[in-house]
Amino acid sequence: MEPNCIFCKIIEKQIPAEIIFENASVLGFKDISPKAPIHYLFIPKKHLASLAETPKEDLSVLCDIYSAIQEVTKKEGVDKSGYKTTIHTGKGGGQIVFHLHVHLLAQK
């Protein structure tokens, strides 16, 4: 938990979000400013600032995140039609919120 991190505050339920997935290591919620009919964010519950700053031993959380994405996209019925996943890394990569997250975008 990083006290100044907005996504840590969502994990701690200190600020609201539309949560669509939760397990021991991952939280999934709707992006507040959706760029597609389905636009969800998946984050590790452990604060990791960015992909570049994630130590090798914590990279397994990306496996948990992509597993969550497989589950959610199946539930939403877009696993066959297709979807896009994106990670913005660092300022030059367009990252605004410095808590590692994977964007999921799909048409409904």
**Active site residue ranges:** 101
Residue 97 as a binder of ligand AMP (CB under 6 A): the answer is: yes
94 binds ligand AMP (CB under 6 A): yes
Find the shortest distance in angstroms from Cβ 101 to Zn ion. Answer: 9
In this structure, which long-range contacts are made by residues 11-20, counting pairs with CB atoms below 8 Å and at least 24 apart in sequence?
11/43, 11/45, 20/72
Partner from ligand AMP, Zn ion, none binding residue 94, C-beta < 5-8 Å depending on class: ligand AMP
Convert 70-97 to b/e letters by CB count within 10 Å (16 or more is b).
Answer: eebbeebebeeeebeeeebeeeeeebee
Q: Which residues bind ligand AMP (CB under 6 A)?
A: 6, 17, 31-33, 41, 88, 94-97, 101
